[in-house]
């Protein structure tokens, strides 16, 4: 049974695991689908997306650096996409318009709470970064019941803007990056910076890692190596990369497009063997 055409847009995009993941999901239901990568520079993104859907595309995943542009293109958007101001999923509606979703936060929380069995309620959380990735997960952390969310970014204006958008000053607030050594210990530390992707070191103090701390990098593979090594050296109880989040967000997109929820565990297990 043919399920139609799908793609993931990014720049660069050749490294993407999305085609492999979606094909694995499709096999669970006996579906045949065309899923490809489309490398579009920022200036060409809008035209490439419009061409893809004009040619019969049914759905697209969107990754860096296009999530903000994808949200701007859509005619309808989910609450999560509106809160984040970005989208990682675009879906063709029956009338030819596009709907935007952002499944990043839900995917991350589900990976942590269901796959890794860590309850986030009551945790003191530290969010490193205030860009698009941080916007994608901040509200989901709040919804998951963290006690406080401290946002730290090298550009304090961006952190302040995110905290203001959340609008719960008693729970979500900002601190300066240079103050990290004196902020005390946290139960949850989420790396939403682009440092690992860019091959840069964060040089974080060990003192921010609490006794029961979970350290989570939104990246996976080589990009997450330095942060996870730091977390383990600091004595974190858990240190996870974002591979499970990637699989969960893909499952959300698959369910949106096909109306069926895939089993993520065997796909995650296969990829985990590959990425250690």
Q: Which residues are catalytic?
A: 67
Beta strands 209-217 and 32-39: pairing type?
unpaired
Q: How many CB atoms lie within 10 A of CB 235?
A: 11
Angle formed at CA 87 by CA 15 and CA 33, multiple of 5 degrees: 55
Rounded to whole angstroms, what are the CA distances from 146 to 126, 210, 216, 267? 10, 15, 15, 29
CB 216, CB 246: distance < 8 Å: no
Q: Taking Cα atoms as reference points, which of 269, 202, 266 lies closest to residue 27?
A: 266
Integer Cα distance of 199 and 197 in angstroms: 6
Torsion, Cα 45 46 51 54, to 10 degrees, reads: 140
């Amino acid at each position: 049974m043919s399920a139609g055409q799908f793609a993931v847009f990014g720049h660069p995009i050749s490294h993407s695991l999305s085609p492999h993941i979606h094909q694995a999901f499709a096999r669970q239901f006996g579906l045949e689908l065309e899923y490809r990568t489309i490398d579009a520079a920022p200036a060409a993104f809008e035209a490439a997306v419009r061409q893809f859907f004009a040619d019969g595309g049914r759905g697209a995943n969107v990754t860096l650096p296009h999530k903000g542009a994808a949200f701007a293109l859509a005619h309808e958007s989910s609450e999560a996409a509106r809160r984040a101001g970005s989208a990682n999923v675009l879906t063709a509606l029956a009338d030819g318009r596009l709907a935007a979703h952002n499944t990043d936060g839900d995917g991350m929380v589900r990976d942590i709470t269901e796959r890794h069995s860590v309850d986030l309620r009551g945790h003191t959380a530290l969010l490193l970064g205030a860009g698009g990735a941080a916007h994608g997960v901040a509200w989901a952390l709040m919804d998951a019941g963290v006690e406080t969310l401290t946002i730290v970014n090298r550009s304090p204006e961006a952190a302040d803007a995110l905290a203001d958008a959340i609008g719960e000053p008693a729970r979500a607030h900002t601190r300066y990056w240079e103050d990290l050594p004196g902020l005390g210990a946290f139960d949850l530390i989420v790396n939403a910076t682009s440092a690992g992707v860019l091959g840069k070191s964060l040089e974080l103090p060990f003192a921010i890692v609490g006794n029961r701390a979970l350290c989570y990098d939104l990246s996976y593979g080589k990009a997450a190596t330095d942060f996870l090594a730091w977390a383990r050296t600091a004595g974190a109880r858990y240190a996870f990369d974002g591979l499970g989040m990637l699989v969960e967000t893909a499952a959300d997109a698959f369910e949106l497009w096909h109306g069926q929820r895939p089993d993520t565990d065997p796909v995650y297990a296969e990829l985990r063997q590959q990425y250690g």
